Structure 1
Amino acid sequence: MSPTKASRPPVILLIGTVDTKSDEMAYLRESVEHLGGTAVVMDVGVLGKGGFTPNIPNTEVAAAAGVTLQQVMETGDENTSMKLMATGATLLAVQWYVEGRFDGLLALGGTMGTDLALDVANALPLGCPKVVLSTIAYSPLIPPDRIPPDLIMRLWAGGLYGL
């Protein structure tokens, strides 16, 4: 670990859909900051803007995938839209990690958000801390080969019932 990285508080990349989960993402950001860390929020939502401004807006995530957010929204298929966002999120996360801009990943989501989070987690190197809060944790919907060996996954009841 470089002296610069060792001397700063941990930086956590928070990934989620700010358009539909603004309250939850804001809560996670505040929790990380309350514990002395720095939170960098990446919005992977495909429905537009959320309740606060993320550090990495969904327009930037779409651009990393080689498309505009409008093109993502116009696919007409939520699965296709989220796959495009997963591509952009993965490319950005790997780039940022290589550049030393964050130290660990915390992502939350339902079925599609979890799928996106697992794409990102699998692209990050072994040893990079990875936590996924999921409404489908421990579910047969997640094939075992999608879960990296150093991933912590927890059931996210708030995704089912709200904060």
Structure 2
Amino acid sequence: MGLQGVGSGALIAFGVVVLAVVGAAACGRVMAYIFAAPTGRRGRSLSVLKTLEKCLFAAFTFALVINYALDVRLRSRAHDCERKQSDDGKYIAELCLLRDEGHDADYVGRVYDAKDGQLLVERTFNAAETELSWLNGQVSFMRGGENYDVVRLPASWMERLLAKAP
């Protein structure tokens, strides 16, 4: 069965406790290393700081990669999609459900070029109510049109670049 019955809050709490215990043990070992001899403490301290800097950079990079991989996995499982073509026929907008957890849900909004089907823009957002609508050369994915769900077309170079990433 594994961890199916355990909530995400319990897993996070367990992770925090494990990190606290490991961190305390590591601090104890570092202090013992630094104060092992009366001479050379400055050099040992700098050595520890350089090692700590490398470890924190590696942990931060690892966390970013894992977060991005989980996001890619979630976006690849989009379902219940709705598509609408723009009034001028140049673009096709798509709104898909990613995850529904009761009151709010996570969605992905995508805009494609109608000629070749190339993905131009992809945005994820959380909303209680969505509505795919075209108005004056822009598409809105959410009722009320918040800033993060409105796409102005033609898409900027940054949005086109980000859409090419998995």
Q: TM-score, normalised by structure 1?
A: 0.20
Larger Rg: 2
Higher strand share: 2
Q: Which has the higher contact order (CA 8 A, sep 6+)?
A: 1
Q: TM-score, normalised by structure 2?
A: 0.20
